[in-house]
């Protein structure tokens, strides 16, 4: 979390440092195209719900349309003994769902298998697997307004077990997911606080300048803690960096995100435990 | 080490014998001494001593010392230095003699504005190539960003030198990385030469005497970096009278005091600079701005003590720091260097210098106590060095230099801990590492005939990792398998390398020459940084069992020609460089707070070549230069870019700089410079994937695209106050404009979603400086 904090703060330093006459301007840029790859975005969690996997393809960068979806594929998830078939949602082409009674169990490795109707980039069969880590519970959460940043910080009290753990946090306001795009979720390892209490560490932020995120007294804030794998943590971090703003002072060279799907497909199939904690804003 | 010393001694003897071989029986007598500035007592380095009868001579070393040995007889000596009145002296040489010379700065009509003087043919006949020396007075004439005169920005206007990013003090020499430049201030390494995220350098021009950049042909006395040596020397302090120099600028103020403690024997200089942006912030009505503290400062000090004829002592120190803090965040970083030098003459022919050096770079950042995420993170790099250098002057045809050096490096890459009772952070320390770097060297500069001179030398160097240390072992996928802990003081790994250096100069006629050089350089400590500009979060790491030293080989060839009585100097150089064990970082490398940093490194080769044209003019009223560089620089690393060669980050094929200064009248001068460079290589997205409701780019090959072309014009005008007899105070106003035609040079190009449609993206450039005016007032008394 330290690192994320620093990376967020550095641009502030720079701007203050120079009263930069730095400005931005829209420019015209011609970019070449690239070949099509399959994109997989799916997960299975310990919640008992219909877990979904979305299949799309890449397109040219300035395509400026939703991604083309991939329909008619055979998709299934297995934990080694049982097989959960996924069926395509008739209302959402390219989205494949399990039965709503399915739940993942910590300690098992889940495998996603995809058989496409037509091959993409030379392959029609794709596979990915992910171990489902357990997660410990949060004792409590609280919501604190931070004046200087004009945002609400969701703080968490929890005990981090002595093993190496990787966490993802999602925030709901009145049961609506606020962290609805991948660049809003927070992920961290426990390298700097392994085996200790978190004492109200920030696990999510809601911004005042977004009407959707504004917090009022009486609102119910729910936090989800997820025990994820190291690979998934790295993947989310990479997605956040590559889809975010680049700054030559601190950004490394751009690089393609690295997922866990084979045969050159992009994306990640993840499995993780989730637990929840709720508070009502006073 | 034991094996090297006899080899070296042998080498020295060989050179020595060779030097005397021509005329071993004739007794020779030595003339030696030092050359200083008559008005300030500052020693003049690189001043010429010419013996008319021999049509040959020598130059002073960095301490102003010269020595020349001749058969008994009558000689006419001529002492000269650019910008100074030449001095001639007839000497009847019968016994060893010390002749100290004070040269007077040239009294011109346009005093101090124009750098003129005896037009030497040094450009053509000096056996030195790929080297540029810049006088601090020349540097001051160049229009500067926000009026802050900056030696590194001046260096960037020379052929073969590229700036790493807009306004940055980071520089790349002949395609190399910024960490391949050895930046030395009074022989102490400066690890991070930048302030304010790289926009200003740490060198306060009032305290600097002389700057020399070696782009190749690095003398054997220096090593440890592949690309270049930037040798910055501080002033010694006026030994004649007290003077003060200072300035009030747009972002900083400077004050330098210097003078004798004991006239002609002991002098001091103390120089400071501080920015005051934060003082304005405090006046701001915006509370967020008001609570910020932000500044940098530099402090240079030096004492120069002439003990007696044969002994001289210099103590110099530098400290500088950047500080940024507000209620939520604190960050500071800085360099400290200290050098103690003792010049000793063992004989009139054997000059020695003993040096002790300490150099330190550290940074710290954190969130102040009182919060759950309060923490403090510090990182320190500490060097202790000792070196001995000898210059031996057997006869006018040979100058032998030899010596040895050793450095103890201590790396503390990071230690983070929670602050205060409420913090939930544990202490987290990256393992420290330690290393010793030794070198012995010997070299000779020899005049073979009037037309041909050669320079040859060898540097042997050794690098040792010593405990306490942890070495992780990696499998072929760079996953760590296990680690070995070495106990304190144990040498657990050693690298031994040799670095030959060779150069020739052949005079075609009195105004033209051909020069060639070869050098091999080895680099043992490397920088991991994700920044193109120079942020302070530098992680320097040593070579180790996992990281082989980088090795560079460079060949250069040049043609040098002077025109118009040496007032127009031109040169053309071509070079080819091949580096082995070149380091780059894997995709998404984690460089900060990573104990297994070595697993993030990938190794391959780097290659660069180029053509450099330099035309320099020095007339009474007009001086300046034009430089053009055509170059290519690529890297090839099996695990990066699918093993295909890719452009190195500073590969800019075309680069032009035009710098000029025109003296309009006695009190007014005008300066201008124009720079043009091809856009830096960049990786752009060619495809997109949507993951988690977010468009994620799919990239082209690494560095397959280029940023838009960069160009910029800067202007300045300097108005001097009236000089009246008897008035000591001299003032001048400097008005400058950076980026006069306000070109919006792209600093970075981002791809940004439309505010209303998350699927629609457009390209957006950020530009930093368009039309930045500045005013500076400088004074001297």
Chain B CB contacts of A19 below 8 Å? 277
List all residues of chain A from 194 to 233 with a beta carbon under 8 Å from chain B. 194-202
Q: Is the dihedral of CA B213, B217, B222, B223 positive or negative?
A: positive
CA angle B276, B280, B286 (to 5 degrees): 140
Do the domains B4-111 and B131-780 sit in the same CATH topology, yes or no?
no
Among B603, B568, B569, CA closest to B585: B603
Chain B CB contacts of A242 below 8 Å? 696-697
**Percent of all residues in chain A with a pLDDT value above 70, rounded to a whole number:** 92
**Mean pLDDT confidence for A168-178:** 96
- Residue B143, token pair as written in the block: 């229009």
**What is the rounded distance in angstroms from the CA atom of residue B68 to the CA atom of residue B51?**
9
**What is the rounded distance in angstroms from the CA atom of residue A42 to the CA atom of residue B342?**
70
CB B169 within 8 A of CB B150: yes
Q: Which residues pair with B465 in a beta bridge?
A: B435, B493
> Which of A259-263, B355-359, B474-478, B553-557 has the least mean pLDDT?
B474-478
Chain A CB contacts of B771 below 8 Å? 21
Site of tokens 């931070």: A146
**Of residues B641 and B530, which shows the higher confidence score?**
B641
Identify the DSSP state of B480.
E
pLDDT in tens, B274-288: 988 776 666 666 666
Query: To the nearest whole angstrom, how far is the Cα of B697 from the nearest Cα of chain A?
Result: 7
Identify the DSSP state of A69.
B
DSSP A104-125: --TT-EEEEEEEEEEEETTEEE
Query: To the nearest whole angstrom, how far is the Cα of B433 from the nearest Cα of chain A?
Result: 21
**What is the rounded distance in angstroms from the CA atom of residue B447 to the CA atom of residue B57?**
10
Ordered by start, the domain boundaries in chain B are: 4-111, 131-780
pLDDT at residue B618 is higher than 90: no
pLDDT in tens, A25-58: 899 998 988 899 999 999 999 999 999 999 999 9
Three-state DSSP state, B241: coil
Site of tokens 């060097």: B383
Residue B732: Cβ within 10 Å count: 19
Half-sphere exposure of A208 (CA within 13 A, CB side): 10
Three-state DSSP state, B116: coil
> Which of A218-227, A253-262, B175-184, B524-533 has the least mean pLDDT?
B524-533
**Mean pLDDT confidence for B752-762:** 88
Question: Residues B254-257: contacts with CB within 8 Å, 24+ apart?
Answer: B254/B204, B254/B206, B256/B204, B256/B206, B256/B207
Q: Does A10 touch chain B (CB under 8 A)?
A: yes
CB B300 within 8 A of CB B271: yes
pLDDT at residue B564 is higher than 60: yes
Chain B CB contacts of A248 below 8 Å? 165, 531-533, 747-748
What residue ranges in B263-310 does DSSP mark as E strands?
266-275, 293-308
User: Residue B283's pLDDT is what?
Assistant: 65
pLDDT at residue B119 is higher than 60: no
A16/B324 touch (CB, cutoff 8 Å), yes or no = yes
User: Residue B728's pLDDT is what?
Assistant: 84
**What is the rounded distance in angstroms from the CA atom of residue B146 to the CA atom of residue B248?**
12
**What is the rounded distance in angstroms from the CA atom of residue B569 to the CA atom of residue B552?**
29
A239/B691 touch (CB, cutoff 8 Å), yes or no = yes
**What is the rounded distance in angstroms from the CA atom of residue B55 to the CA atom of residue B598?**
56
pLDDT at residue B251 is higher than 60: yes
User: Residue B14's pLDDT is what?
Assistant: 47
**What is the rounded distance in angstroms from the CA atom of residue B115 to the CA atom of residue B133?**
13
B502 pLDDT band (50/70/90 cuts)? very high
Picking from B281, B535, B695, the nearest residue to A243 by CB comes out as B695
Query: To the nearest whole angstrom, how far is the Cα of B3 from the nearest Cα of chain A?
Result: 44
**What is the rounded distance in angstroms from the CA atom of residue B269 to the CA atom of residue B239?**
10
Q: Which residues pair with A135 in a beta bridge?
A: none
**Of residues B572 and B727, which shows the higher confidence score?**
B572
User: Residue B7's pLDDT is what?
Assistant: 52
pLDDT at residue A20 is higher than 70: no
User: Residue B608's pLDDT is what?
Assistant: 96
Q: What is the mean pLDDT of chain B?
A: 87
Chain B CB contacts of A256 below 8 Å? 587, 698-699
CB A34 within 8 A of CB A58: yes
Chain B CB contacts of A202 below 8 Å? 372-373
Q: Is the dihedral of CA B542, B528, B603, B220 positive or negative?
A: negative
B684/A29 touch (CB, cutoff 8 Å), yes or no = yes
Half-sphere exposure of B392 (CA within 13 A, CB side): 16
**Mean pLDDT confidence for B707-732:** 88
User: Residue B290's pLDDT is what?
Assistant: 67
List all residues of chain A from 244 to 273 with a beta carbon under 8 Å from chain B. 245-258, 266-268
B131-780 folds as Maltoporin; Chain A (2.40.170)
List all residues of chain A from 82 to 121 with a beta carbon under 8 Å from chain B. none
Among A123, A130, A128, CA closest to A232: A130
Picking from A61, A201, A266, the nearest residue to B424 by CB comes out as A201
Q: Which residues pair with A187 in a beta bridge?
A: A168
Cα(first)–Cα(last) distance of chain A, in Å? 27
CATH of domain B4-111: 2.60.40.1120
Tell me: cis bond preceding B468? Omega within 30 of 0 counts: yes
Which chain A residue lies closest to B535 (C-alpha atoms)?
A: A249
DSSP A224-251: EEEE--HHHHHHHHHHHHHHS---TTT-
Query: To the nearest whole angstrom, how far is the Cα of A96 from the nearest Cα of chain B?
Result: 15
A2/B593 touch (CB, cutoff 8 Å), yes or no = yes
- Residue B639, token pair as written in the block: 């695990």
B747/A148 touch (CB, cutoff 8 Å), yes or no = no
A67/B750 touch (CB, cutoff 8 Å), yes or no = no
pLDDT at residue B24 is higher than 80: no
Chain B CB contacts of A226 below 8 Å? none
pLDDT at residue B117 is higher than 60: no
A243/B769 touch (CB, cutoff 8 Å), yes or no = no
- Range B607-616 burial, b when 16+ CB lie within 10 A, else e: bbbbebebbb
pLDDT at residue B674 is higher than 60: yes
**Which strand (E) or helix (H) includes residue B6?**
helix B4-21
A-B C-beta contacts closer than 8 Å: 249
- Residue A236, token pair as written in the block: 């989310």
Chain A CB contacts of B587 below 8 Å? 253, 255-256, 258
Q: What is the mean pLDDT of chain A?
A: 89
- Residue B477, token pair as written in the block: 């996928």
pLDDT in tens, B435-453: 999 999 999 999 998 899 9
CB B483 within 8 A of CB B475: no
**Mean pLDDT confidence for B18-26:** 46
Estimate to the nearest angstrom the gap between the alpha carbon of B597 and the chain centroid. Answer: 27
A117 pLDDT band (50/70/90 cuts)? very high
**What is the rounded distance in angstroms from the CA atom of residue B266 to the CA atom of residue B237?**
9
CB B339 within 8 A of CB B321: no
Query: To the nearest whole angstrom, how far is the Cα of A80 from the nearest Cα of chain B?
Result: 27
């Amino acid at each position: 979390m330290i690192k994320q904090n620093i990376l967020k703060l550095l641009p502030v330093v720079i701007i203050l440092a120079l009263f930069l006459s730095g400005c931005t301007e829209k420019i015209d840029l011609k970019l070449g195209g690239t070949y099509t790859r399959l994109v997989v975005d799916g997960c299975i969690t310990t919640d008992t719900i219909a877990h979904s996997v979305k299949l799309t393809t890449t397109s040219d960068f300035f395509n400026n349309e939703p991604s083309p979806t991939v329909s008619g594929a055979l998709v299934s998830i297995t934990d080694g003994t049982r097989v959960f078939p996924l069926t395509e949602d008739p209302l959402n082409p390219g989205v494949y769902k399990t039965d709503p009674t399915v739940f993942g169990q910590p300690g098992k490795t889940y495998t996603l298998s995809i058989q496409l109707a037509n091959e993409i980039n030379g392959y029609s069969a794709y596979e990915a697997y992910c171990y489902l880590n357990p997660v410990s519970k949060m004792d409590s959460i609280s919501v604190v307004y931070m004046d200087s940043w004009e945002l609400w910080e969701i703080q968490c009290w929890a005990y981090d077990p002595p093993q190496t753990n990787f966490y993802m946090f999602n925030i709901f306001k009145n049961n609506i997911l606020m962290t609805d795009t991948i660049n809003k979720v927070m992920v961290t390892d426990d390298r700097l606080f392994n085996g200790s209490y978190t004492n109200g560490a920030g696990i999510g932020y809601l911004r005042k300048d977004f009407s959707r995120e504004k917090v009022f007294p009486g609102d119910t804030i729910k936090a989800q803690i997820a025990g994820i794998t190291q690979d998934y943590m790295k993947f989310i971090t990479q997605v956040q960096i590559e889809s975010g703003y680049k700054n030559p002072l601190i950004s490394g060279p751009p690089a393609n995100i690295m997922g866990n799907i084979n045969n050159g497909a992009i994306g990640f199939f993840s499995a993780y435990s989730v637990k929840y904690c709720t508070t009502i804003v006073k | 080490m034991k094996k090297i010393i006899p080899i070296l001694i042998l080498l020295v003897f060989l050179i020595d014998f060779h030097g005397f071989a021509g005329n071993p029986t004739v007794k020779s007598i030595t003339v030696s001494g030092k050359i200083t500035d008559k008005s300030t007592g500052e020693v003049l380095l690189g001043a010429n001593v010419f013996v008319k009868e021999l049509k040959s001579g020598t130059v002073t070393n960095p301490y102003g010392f010269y020595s020349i040995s001749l058969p008994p007889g009558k000689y006419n000596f001529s002492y000269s230095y650019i910008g100074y009145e030449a001095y001639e002296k007839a000497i009847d040489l019968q016994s060893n003699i010390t002749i100290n010379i004070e040269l007077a700065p040239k009294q011109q009509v346009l005093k101090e504005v124009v750098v003129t003087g005896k037009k030497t043919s040094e450009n053509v006949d000096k056996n030195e190539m790929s080297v540029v020396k810049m006088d601090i007075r020349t540097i001051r004439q160049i229009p500067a960003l926000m009026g802050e005169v900056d030696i590194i920005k001046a260096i960037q206007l020379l052929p073969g030198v590229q700036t790493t990013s807009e306004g940055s003090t980071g520089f790349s020499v002949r395609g190399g990385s910024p960490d391949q430049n050895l930046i030395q201030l009074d022989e102490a390494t400066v690890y991070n030469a930048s302030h304010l995220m790289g926009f200003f350098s740490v060198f306060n021009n009032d305290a600097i005497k002389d700057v020399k950049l070696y782009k190749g042909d690095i003398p054997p006395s220096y090593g440890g970096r592949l690309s270049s040596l930037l040798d910055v020397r501080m002033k010694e302090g006026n030994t004649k009278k007290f003077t003060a120099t200072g300035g009030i600028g747009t972002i900083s103020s400077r004050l330098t005091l210097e003078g004798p403690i004991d006239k002609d024997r002991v002098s001091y200089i103390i120089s400071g600079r501080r920015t005051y942006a934060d003082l304005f912030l405090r006046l701001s009505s915006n509370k967020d701005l008001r609570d910020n503290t932000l500044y940098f400062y530099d402090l240079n000090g030096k004492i120069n003590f002439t003990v007696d004829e044969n002994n001289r002592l210099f103590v110099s120190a530098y400290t500088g720091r950047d500080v940024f803090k507000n209620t939520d965040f604190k960050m500071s970083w800085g360099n400290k260097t200290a050098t103690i030098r003792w010049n000793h003459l063992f004989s009139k022919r054997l000059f020695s210098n003993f040096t002790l050096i300490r150099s330190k770079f550290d940074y710290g950042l954190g969130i102040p106590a009182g919060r759950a995420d309060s923490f403090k993170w510090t990182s320190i790099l500490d060097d202790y060095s000792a070196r001995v250098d000898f210059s031996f002057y057997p006869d006018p045809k040979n100058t032998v230099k030899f010596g040895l050096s050793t450095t103890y490096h201590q790396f503390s890459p990071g230690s983070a801990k929670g602050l205060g009772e409420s913090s939930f952070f544990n202490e987290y320390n990256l393992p420290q590492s330690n290393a010793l770097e030794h070198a012995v060297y010997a070299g000779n500069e020899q005049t073979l005939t009037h037309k041909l001179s050669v320079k040859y030398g060898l540097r042997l160097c050794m690098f040792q990792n010593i405990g306490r240390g942890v070495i992780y072992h990696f499998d072929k996928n760079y996953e760590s398998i296990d680690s070995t802990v070495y106990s304190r003081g144990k040498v657990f790994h050693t690298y031994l390398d040799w670095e030959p250096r060779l150069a020739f100069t052949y005079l075609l006629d009195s105004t033209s020459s051909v020069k060639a050089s070869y050098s091999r350089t080895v680099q043992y400590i490397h920088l991991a940084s994700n920044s193109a500009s120079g942020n302070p979060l530098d992680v320097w790491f040593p070579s180790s069992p996992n990281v082989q030293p980088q090795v560079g080989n460079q060949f250069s060839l040049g043609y040098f020609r002077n025109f118009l009585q040496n007032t127009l100097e031109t040169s053309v150089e071509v070079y080819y460089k091949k580096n082995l064990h070149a380091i780059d970082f894997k995709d998404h490398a984690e460089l900060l707070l990573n104990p297994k940093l070595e697993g993030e490194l990938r190794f391959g080769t780097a290659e660069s070549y180029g053509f450099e044209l330099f035309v320099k003019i020095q007339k009474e009223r007009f001086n300046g230069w034009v430089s053009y560089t055509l170059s290519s620089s690529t890297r090839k690393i099996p695990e990066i870019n699918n093993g295909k060669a890719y452009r190195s980050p500073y590969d800019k094929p075309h680069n032009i700089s035009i710098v000029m200064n025109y003296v309009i009248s006695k009190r007014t001068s005008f300066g201008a410079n124009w720079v043009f460079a091809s856009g830096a290589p960049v990786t752009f997205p060619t495809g997109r994937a949507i993951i988690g409701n977010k468009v994620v780019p799919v990239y082209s090959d690494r560095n397959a695209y280029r940023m838009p072309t960069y160009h910029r014009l800067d202007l300045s005008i300097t108005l001097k106050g009236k000089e009246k007899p008897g008035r000591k105070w001299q003032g001048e106003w400097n008005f400058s404009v950076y980026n006069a035609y306000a070109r919006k040079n792209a600093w970075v190009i981002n791809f940004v979603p439309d505010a209303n449609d998350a699927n629609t993206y457009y390209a957006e450039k950020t530009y930093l400086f368009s039309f930045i005016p500045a005013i500076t007032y400088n004074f001297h008394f």
